[in-house]
Amino acid sequence: MEHNGYITETEIGGAANGPLAGTTVAVKDNLSTEGVRTTCGSAMLAEYVPPFDATVVERVKNAGATIPGKTNMDEFGMGTTTETSAFGPVENPAAPGHVPGGSSGGSAAVVAAGDADLALGTDTGGSVRCPAAFCGVVGIKPTYGLVSRYGLVAYANSLEQVGPIAPTVAEAAELLEVIAGPDSQDATTRDATDHGTDYDFAAAADGDVDGLSVGVPTELVEGAEEGVREQFWAAIDDLEAAGATHEAVSLPSVEHAVEAYYVIAMGEASSNLARYDGVRYGVSGGYEGDWNETFARSREEGFGEEVKRRVLLGTYALSAGYQEKYYKKAQDARAWVQQDFDSAFETVDVLASPTMPVTPFELGESLDDPLKMYLADANTTPVNLANLPAISVPVGETDGLPVGMQLVGPAFGEKAIIRAGSALA
Ligand code: GLN
DSSP class per residue in 15-47: -SSSTTTT-BEEEETTB-BTTB---TT-GGGTT
Cβ neighbours around 311 below 10 Å, total: 22
Q: What is the pLDDT of residues 341-362, one digit of tens each?
A: 999 999 999 999 999 999 999 9
From the list 420, 422, 418, 366, the residue with the least C-alpha distance to 163 is: 418
pLDDT-derived band at 279 (thresholds 50, 70, 90) equals confident
Residue 1's pLDDT is 54
Residue type, position 342, single letter: D
Query: Is 127 a pocket residue for ligand 1 (Cβ < 6 Å)?
Result: yes
**Ligand 1 site-directed mutation target among 42, 74, 128, 268, most atoms within 8 Å of CB:** 74
> Taking the domain 6-254+334-422, which CATH number applies?
3.90.1300.10
CA of 139 to the centre of ligand 1 (A): 15
CA of 261 to the centre of ligand 1 (A): 9
Q: What is the pLDDT of residues 58-86, one digit of tens each?
A: 999 999 999 999 999 999 999 999 999 99
Query: Is 104 a pocket residue for ligand 1 (Cβ < 6 Å)?
Result: no
Query: Is 80 a pocket residue for ligand 1 (Cβ < 6 Å)?
Result: yes
- Residue 123 CA, closest ligand 1 atom number: 8
Residue 313's pLDDT is 96
The Cα–Cα gap between 153 and 54 comes to 9
Instruction: Give the CA-trace dihedral at 292, 298, 304, 308, to 10 degrees.
Output: -10
Query: Is 103 a pocket residue for ligand 1 (Cβ < 6 Å)?
Result: yes
Q: 347 burial class (0-12, 13-18, 19+ CB within 10 angstroms)?
A: exposed
Query: Is 123 a pocket residue for ligand 1 (Cβ < 6 Å)?
Result: yes
The Cα–Cα gap between 135 and 243 comes to 28
Instruction: Please list, in sequence order, all residues whose beta carbon lies within 8 angstroms of the beta carbon of residue 292, skipping any fewer than 6 positions away.
Output: none
Q: What is the pLDDT of residues 238-260, one digit of tens each?
A: 999 999 999 999 999 999 999 99
Q: Give the residue numbers annotated as catalytic, written as ranges.
A: 28, 103, 127
Q: Return the domain boundaries, the chain.
A: 6-254+334-422
pTM above 0.95, yes or no: yes
Which stretch of 33-37, 103-107, 136-140, 290-294 has the lowest confidence by average pLDDT? 290-294
DSSP state, 314?
A: H
Report helix, strand and coil shares of the chain as percent, to nearest 5.
Answer: 35, 20, 45
